[in-house]
Amino acid sequence: MWKNHKPLLFMVGISLVLGGCQIAKEKKTSKMQELDLPDVRALQDEFTRGFIESTEEVEKGYYSFLSGTKRYRMLFPKEGVIHQGYGIRDDQFEGFLMSTLNDNGTDSQIKINYYTNESTENAPVVLEILEGRVDQKLEFEKITSESSEVYYAPIEFEPDVFGIAALVVSLNGEGSVQIVYDTQCKNDKNECQQIKEEEIEKMIHWARSFEFVDQEVQ
């Protein structure tokens, strides 16, 4: 992936989960100067910019995003923004909704929950929770790397709204991330079918970009 840098249901219950969470004002403040930034949503939005580690793309169309918990990194789309409702509790929990505009004219929303105390042992229970969140019975595929397991399954809310539900679990005890990623296509049926295939492939690639951070070696 990339090397570590050194230089709408989901949001309803977040306030119940967070309790005394620390909110955005306690996350790192970006030192980037707005006038010098590329004209993309991820860097022009002040709140979102606070998570972006560098103005240099780490992959075409993506920047490196460091979680407010400092527990994981992921690819962040250049036309993505984080919406109101972001919540964090120390390094134990993080939850937020992001949206992005895609080059093919579609738009996507991605709901993310990070929990530091989840592991591979309770993955089956978490996958059932994901099924409940999307209200669908899902058939998950699993991809294993050296440091994580990625479970994903296609979802469809309407003929023109499709995506994946996914779970990324650290194999080294740094927690897991629950994901619901969906895209809306407003083009004609045949074009949307082709777009759907391309988008699902892109979503899986993005889910595989998560890198958990070992707190002990920082």
From 123-127, 130-134, 166-170, 186-190, the region with the lowest mean pLDDT: 186-190
pLDDT at 215 over 90: no
First to last CA, the chain: 18
How far apart CA 132 and CA 17 sit, in angstroms, is 17
pLDDT at 10 over 60: no
- What are the DSSP E strand ranges found in 159-210? 161-170, 176-184
* List of domains in the chain: 14-217 (3.40.1000)
3-state DSSP assignment of residue 122 = helix
Structure tokens, 209: 């970009």
Q: Establish how many alpha carbons lie within 13 A of residue 111's alpha carbon, considering only the half-sphere containing its beta carbon.
A: 16
- Please tell me the pTM assigned to this model: 0.83
The gap from C-alpha 51 to its chain's centroid, in whole angstroms, comes to 12
Confidence of residue 168 (pLDDT cuts 50, 70, 90): very high
Confidence of residue 11 (pLDDT cuts 50, 70, 90): very low
pLDDT at site 216? 60
